[in-house]
A and B are shown apart, each in its own frame.
Chain A
Amino acid sequence: MVPITLFLALAAILFCIGLYGVLTRRHLVIVLASIEIMLNSVNINLVAFSAIGPFANISGQVFSLFIITVAAAEAAVGLAILIALYRNRNSIDVIKHDLLRW
C-alpha cells in the first residue's frame, strides 16, 4: 500500500509549482492555470486523507467535488474578467496592471 506521505509530498510539490507560477508568470492565463494547479494539489490531499487517512471517511471526497465545481466556476469568471481586462487595457501582462497602488 502506498504510504500517505507520498501523496502529501506530491500535493506539496504541485502546490509549490502552482504558487511559483502565480508569483512569477507575467501572463495572466498562466497565472490562472497555476491557481488551478494549486487547487488540485489541495484536492489530492483531501482525497488521500479521505481514502487512507487516520480517520478515513467520505467527506474529504465530497469536499474535493465541491472544490472542482468552484474551480470550474472560478476559471470561467476569471477568464471572463481576463477578457474584459484585455478589451479595456489591451494587455494581459500582470506587470502592466498596477492600479492596486492607489
Chain B
Amino acid sequence: MIQNAWLIPVFPLIAFLILLFIGRFLKEKSSYVGITALALSFILSVMVLFERIGGETYTYVIDWITFGELTISMGYEVTPLNAMMLIVVTLVSLVVHIFSREYMHDDKRIHIFFAYLGLFSFSMLGLILAPNVLQLFIFWELVGLMSYLLVGFWYFKPEAAAAAKKAFLTTRIGDVGLLIGLVILFNQTGSFDYADIYAAVEGGMINETLITTIALLIFMGAVGKSAQFPLHVWLPDAMEGPTPVSALIHAATMVAAGVYLVGVMYPLFLASSTAMTVVAYTGAITAFFAATMALVMTDIKRVLAYSTISQLGFMILALGTAGYVAGLFHLMTHAFFKALLFLGAGSVIYAVHHRQDIRDMGGLWGKMKITSITFLIGALAISGVFPLAGFWSKEEILASALLNGDGFLFTIALVTAFMTAFYMFRLFFKTFTGEYRGGDHDDAHANDPGVDAYGAADVAEADNPRDDSMDEETHVSPAEDHDHHDSPKENSGFMTFPLIVLASMAVVAGFVNLPFLGYPLEGFLTEGINVGSQPHGELWLAFVSLAVAGAGIALAWAMYYKGSISEDYFASKAPGVHKLLINKYYLDEVYTAVFVRPTVAIGRFFWEMDKSIVDGIVNLIGRSTSSTGRTAGRRHNGQLQTYGLVSILGGIVVIALAFVLRGYFG
C-alpha cells in the first residue's frame, strides 16, 4: 500500500479536474466530489501510516532532468514525518470539506470553492510527499497560489482582494530567500535530494559560513509561509477569506509548511548554531508579539489568526532550541485544535449571520451546545490543560526552551503560554457566556479603532456595485436575506460532525507521545534522520505549565465571566499600550511607509519614464509613419491626372538620382 502513496494527492487532483469541467452542473453537489476524494486520501493515508510504522521509509524517484553530470529527480517518499503530516492534512482537509458543504451552500460559486480546495489539498499533499527540495518548492508555490485564490474567493469585497494580494506578496519575500538558498545548496551539493543534502552537511562538504547562509535563506521562506515576525502581517488579513479556508490553509496546513520545511532541513540547521539562534529568537519574538495582539482583537477570526501566528512561533522556537520532535509534535496537535477553533468560530459566525465581532456575540452556550463544548475543548487544548493535546506538546516546547535555550527564551515562552490561555478564554467567555448581544444590530462599533470586519464588509457591499450583480443571494450579504433578530441556533450535522471529529483529535492527539510510554512519536519521528537528542522536561515543568495556563484562564474568567475585574481595567491602566496593541504595533503603517510607498514611488517613476520616453519614441515612429501614410493617402483620389503627375515626378526623381549618383553631372 505504501507504494501507492502517490495516489493520496492524486484523488483531490481528480476531484479538482472533475469540478473544473462539470462543476457548473453539479452546483451544491460539488461538495460530495471533494468529500469523496478526501475521504479516499484519508483512508489511504491511514493505511500508509500504519505500514510505515511497521516498515521502512519508502522512496520512489525517477530522473526528471539530466544535464551533464547532474540529475534532478522527481518522485515521492514516505518518511515518518511525511506519514504523520499526511494524516494531519488529509483529516483536516476532509473535515473542512464536510464543514464547507453547509457553510458555503448558498454561494453561487460553491463548485469553484470546492475545486480550489481540491487543488489546494493536492498541492499540500504533494509538498509533503516530495522527496527533494525542488519538488517541495514547486508545491510550495502552488499552495501559495491556492492561498491567494481562496483568500480572494470573495474578490468583490475590496478587503478580500487586498488581503489576497498582501498574502501573496508578503510570502513572496520569503520565497525569494528560499529560492536563493536552494540554488546555493544545489551549487554546493549537486543534488536536491534530502538524503544527499543530509549526507553533504554531515560529511562537512559545505563550509560553516555557507551552511549558516543557506539555513538562514531557507528560514526566510519559512518565515514568510509560517507568518513569523517580521513577515507575519499577511495572516490576520487573510482572514477575509471564507472561514473553512482559514481553518484549512491559514491554521492547520499551509502555514505549517514553513515549520515542516525547517523540519525536513533540520540537519542543515543543526549544523549552524547561528542559524539555530536566529530561528529560536524569531520564534520566541513572534510567539510573544502575536499573543499580545491577540489579547485586544475583537474580531473572532483575528484573535484566532494572531493565536495561530503565536503558536507557529512556539513551533519555530522549539525547532530553534533543538526540540525537533517538540516542534513537529506541536505542529500536529495544533493543526487539530486550531482547525477545531476556526471551524467552531465558523459555526458561530454562520449562526449569528456572518458577524465576526465578539462584542456582538455572547450567550451562545445554551443555544449552540455542540459548538460550545467543542470550542471549549479546543480552547482548553490550546491553553495546554492536562490531559488535552496541547498540554503534551507545549510542555515539550517549554522543556526544549528551558534546557537548550536560555532564560530569556524560556520566560518568553511561559509568558506567551499565559497569554494564550488568557486570550482564548477571553474569546470563549465573550462568545459563549453572558447575554446575547447580537439582537439589536446597529453599527455601534463601526467607528471603533478596533478591527471590525463585518462592519467594513457592509460598507463594502454598499460601495461596490459589482456585488449586486454578482448575486443577491450569496451569504456575503446576509443583511438582506436573514432576519437579524433571529436568535442563533445550532447548525446541522455537516457543521457539527467536523467539530466533534476535531475535538476528539484535540483530546487524543497528545497521547501519541506520552512520556510514560517512552515517547512513541519521538522514536518514530527521529528514525532515519539525525536530529540530535531530544530534550525532556522534568515533572515540575508540567506543573509550571499547568499553573501558567490556569492563571491565564482564571484571569479571563475574573474579567469576562465573573466581572470582578473590569473588562477595560488594563486598557484604562495603560491606554498607550492598548492603543499600540489594537493598532498592531503600527507595523502595517510602518511597512507602508518604509517599503510599500517607496516601492510604489519607484514603480511610478519608471512607469512615467516608460510612458514618456520609451513609449514616446515608439509612438513617434508609429505616428510619423501613419501621418506620412495619411498625407500620401489624401493624394489617392482616383484622379488619373494626379496619378500621372505623381508618376512623372517620381520618374524625374529617379532620373535625377541616377544622374547624381552615377556622376552624369560630375
Contacts and interface: CB of A to CB of B under 8 A. Distances in A.
Interface of A: 19, 22-24, 94-95, 97-102
Interface of B: 636-641, 643-645, 648
B415 to A, nearest CB: 88
A5 to B, nearest CB: 17
A94 B638 contact: no
Nearest to B648: A19
Nearest to B636: A101
B629 to A, nearest CB: 16
24 contacts: A19-B648, A22-B641, A22-B644, A23-B641, A23-B644, A23-B645, A23-B648, A24-B641, A94-B639, A95-B639, A97-B640, A98-B637, A98-B638, A98-B639, A98-B640, A99-B638, A100-B638, A100-B639, A100-B640, A100-B643, A101-B636, A101-B637, A101-B638, A102-B638
Q: Which of B639, B644, B645 has the most CB of A within 10 A?
A: B639
A16 B110 CA distance: 84
A39 B645 CA distance: 18
A93 to B, nearest CB: 11
A85 B481 CA distance: 79
A19 B640 CA distance: 13
Contacts of B644: 22-23
Contacts of B637: 98, 101
B640 A94 contact: yes
> Which 9 A-B residue pairs are closest in the complex by CB-CB distance?
A101-B638, A98-B638, A100-B638, A23-B641, A23-B645, A23-B644, A98-B639, A94-B641, A94-B640
Q: Which of B636, B637, B641, B645 has the most CB of A within 10 A?
A: B641
Q: Which of A19, A23, A94, A101 has the most CB of B within 10 A?
A: A23
B57 to A, nearest CB: 80
B638 to A, nearest CB: 3
A24 B641 CA distance: 7
Contacts of A100: 638-640, 643
Contacts of B638: 98-102
A14 B639 CA distance: 24
Contacts of B645: 23
A102 B637 CA distance: 9
Contacts of A97: 640
A66 to B, nearest CB: 23
A98 to B, nearest CB: 3
A98 B645 CA distance: 15
A90 to B, nearest CB: 18
B655 to A, nearest CB: 14
A35 to B, nearest CB: 11
A92 B255 CA distance: 88
Contacts of A23: 641, 644-645, 648
A94 B648 CA distance: 18
Nearest to B643: A100
A101 B635 CA distance: 10
Contacts of B636: 101
Contacts of B648: 19, 23
Nearest to A25: B641
B632 to A, nearest CB: 13
A22 B643 CA distance: 11
Contacts of A102: 638
B18 to A, nearest CB: 57
